[in-house]
Structure 1
């Protein structure tokens, strides 16, 4: 098998398990703003932009007009009460391999830039090119995130079909597909069947198995 020309990574659910970091920030911000407990986090919001998530939680209690307040407060809490997410298997192995082979790679996430930078710093990860929510006009499921990252890595549009995109969410998989790239499903949030239904060409439990597949 020919090695793809480039590798793009989502962050939450692919590089790290950050559910606890995000969920606790949503819960504490919601409690501070509304003095009540937040609703359970629905799976359907996985990978969506924080503004859409904020709107959902505000709608639950009939406070849609305070969506932006919750969005900004959650971002504050995520930074102020930062907890280091859990590194998922295979990330150190694959980034070392890609660096040795001089294959371009980077991160494009719907998470905020500060959270990505904090996490990468504390986990000592080898990612130099990182795109977060503030870098896009239209976040995932629009393809802008992955197109912007690919261009920053000096890829041309004709290269896109030879780029792998590691994604765990339906939102992000759709973004990769719309960008004309090859979505590779990581089954931390959705099943193999669910990810393949929206365009994943291959699926793996974690990036470790993808790394082993590439290097066997």
Structure 2
């Protein structure tokens, strides 16, 4: 029986991912690394340090910097990102999400955020939907990033629910893999081929209908 919904943030509730990717691209350029669109896309849904290490690997610089230098780069990237998200408003909530949250509340479903972003509370407050959620996974408590299932297991535990009682929403391949590794029902938002492991896939958030997702969820066994 469905009792809760778990959400990634960037690319699911709002398009703050564009600010992340822009900030990472700027940092890469400063380090003399040119990223392709495909490489940038691989940074979606993964943690800050994992993203940085991936960028350095793309540029053949994985062994060039100390951990202290890497921390400094990550902090610089985050400062630029935080500066950009200050201008976010409720208008930045993606289409279909307000109705989805409203329908979930009408069913008394619990909801939590499973995002690697340490800025999730700031973004949710800017969007005006912080109070909609019963919990937010603290990324600093995580030992492994997506596609490891840890973040989704923690989100489920925050709501005191079991894996077969939740539906989880993701726009990144690593995120969908994390959901499935947590043995949860995955809703993928985006490219059908990229997110093929998901149990239910839509091209955009505008197509999300809780009743239709639940219908598939209830038939899965």
CA distance in 2, matches of 1:97, 1:103: 9
CA apart distance, 1:171: 0.5
Q: Which residue of 2 aligns with 1:133?
A: 139
What CA distance in whole angstroms lies between the structure 2 residues aligned with 1:144 and 1:4? 21
Instruction: For residues 164-210 of structure 1, give each alpha carbon's deviation from its aligned partner in whole angstroms, at most 9, with x where no partner exists.
Output: 111111101111111110111111xxx213312xx211111233423
Long gaps (5+) in structure 1: none
State the alpha-carbon separation in 1 of the partners of residues 34 and 70 from structure 2.
Answer: 13
Which one of 23, 32, 35 corresponds to residue 39 of structure 1?
35
Q: How far did residue 215 of structure 1 move?
A: 8.0
Contact (CA 8 Å) 1:29, 1:77: kept in 2 or not?
no
Number of matched pairs = 202
CA-CA distance at 1:104 after TM superposition: 0.8
Distance 1:84 1:132, change over 3 A: farther
Match of 1:104 among 86, 95, 110: 110
Q: CA separation of 1:160/1:215 partners in 2, compared to 1, >3 Å: closer, same or farther? A: closer
Tell whether the 8 Å contact from 1:6 to 1:105 is kept in structure 2 after alignment.
yes
- Check whether the contact 1:167–1:183 (CA below 8 A) recurs between aligned residues: yes
The two structures have a TM-score, normalised by structure 2, of 0.79
Paired residues for 1:3-152 under 5 Å: 4-30=2-28, 34=31, 36=32, 39-41=35-37, 42=39, 43-59=41-57, 60=59, 62=61, 63-65=64-66, 66-82=69-85, 83-84=87-88, 86-112=92-118, 115-125=119-129, 126-152=132-158
Cα separation, 2, equivalents of 1:215 and 1:45: 30
Task: Name the CA shift for 1:38/1:129 in 2 (closer, same or farther; >3 Å).
Answer: farther
User: Secondary structure of 2:148's partner?
Assistant: coil
Which one of the candidate residues 180, 186, 189 is aligned to 1:186?
189
Query: Any unmatched runs of 5+ in structure 2?
Result: 216-221
Tell me the residue number matched to 2:203.
205
Secondary structure of the corresponding residue to residue 183 of structure 1: strand
TM-score (norm 1): 0.81
Q: Is the 8 A contact 2:21 2:43 kept in 1?
A: no
Q: Does the CA-based 8 Å contact 1:55-1:64 persist in structure 2? A: no
SS of 1:25's partner is helix
1:87-142 Cα deviation digits (max 9, x unpaired): 21111111111112111111101122xx2112111111133422242231222111
The RMSD of aligned alpha carbons is 2.5
